[in-house]
Structure 1
Amino acid sequence: MDITFLELLILGLSSFRLTRLFVFDKITVFIRNYFIDEIEELDENGQKEIYLVPKQGVVKGFIGELLSCYWCTGVWSSIFLCTIYLLFPSVAVPVLLVLAVSGLAAIIETAIQLWL
């Protein structure tokens, strides 16, 4: 199947946003907490550092490792979104558009914050 540049862009932005949603956003912390323990330590300068430690167990450990790695989660998010798009485009397109617009908005907001 041929994918246009616009489709690739939408899929890319959607994957970016879905990945950030699971790995970083506060709204999904309840999901991460089931698979990851956060360990806080103070460094030599008194600054708080947070370490993500996957929980024990085959499934919890695997998903914990996945969620503690932005790159890993990005690959699986991309596989999921591309599969849904290719198998069920009428269902996937609205979801992809919302995620893509949200991802683009996040990029724009970050750029504006850097320029201010």
Structure 2
Amino acid sequence: MWQIPWITFILLILASYRLTRLIVFDQITSFIRRPFLEEKFEQDASGFVVATIEEKGGRFHAFMRDLLTCYWCVGVWSSVAITLAYLLIPSIAFPVILILAIAGAAGILESFVRG
């Protein structure tokens, strides 16, 4: 079977984490989610920004909405994509994986700094 060094394994984990967050939560990928749901951000009385989601469409839209907003579901598919890319086309995939891993680690560190 394949031998993956532990540092590469950590990079794959961090890259998968960041790709998952990118798809499920980030504003930059809202165009992927927009056909299936409407996201609105409002400030509540205490000053916190609260996201509300309005559902769109029928069964297919509901399936896609569930798929795109389920952190666990997207996490599995992100992990599959990242791992297959690394194993099948490592010279192309590795720079992308490295960038996603660095961004993922930075995001995790930022969440600790914020508290």
Change (3 A) 1:71 1:55: farther
Q: Residues 37 and 54 of structure 2 are in contact (CA less than 8 Å); yes or no, is this contact kept in structure 1?
A: yes
Secondary structure in structure 1 of the residue aligned to 2:4? coil
Determine the structure 2 residue equivalent to 1:17.
18
Query: What does 1:17-36 align with in structure 2 at a 5 Å threshold?
Result: 17-36=18-37
CA drift of 1:51 comes to 4.0
Q: Residues 55 and 64 of structure 1 are in contact (CA less than 8 Å); yes or no, is this contact kept in structure 2?
A: no
Q: Residues 20 and 74 of structure 2 are in contact (CA less than 8 Å); yes or no, is this contact kept in structure 1?
A: yes
CA drift of 1:31 comes to 1.2
1:52 & 1:19 partners in 2: Cα distance? 21
One-letter identity of the residue aligned with 1:79: V
Q: Residues 35 and 56 of structure 2 are in contact (CA less than 8 Å); yes or no, is this contact kept in structure 1?
A: no
Q: Does structure 1 residue 67 correspond to structure 2 residue 44?
A: no
Change (3 A) 1:7 1:55: farther
State the structure with bigger RCO (CA 8 A, min sep 6), 1 or 2: 2
2:38 & 2:105 partners in 1: Cα distance? 30
CA drift of 1:66 comes to 1.1
Query: What does 1:39-54 align with in structure 2 at a 5 Å threshold?
Result: 50-51=52-53, 53=55
RMSD between aligned residues: 2.2
One-letter identity of the residue aligned with 1:27: I
Q: TM-score, normalised on structure 1?
A: 0.80
Unpaired runs of 5+ residues, structure 1, are 41-46
Q: TM-score, normalised on structure 2?
A: 0.81
How many residues end up aligned between the 2 structures?
107
User: Could you report, residue by residue, the CA deviation over 1:34-57 in whole angstroms, capped at 9, with x for unpaired residues?
Assistant: 2234489xxxxxx96624646425
Determine the structure 2 residue equivalent to 1:103.
104
- Percentage of identical aligned residues: 43
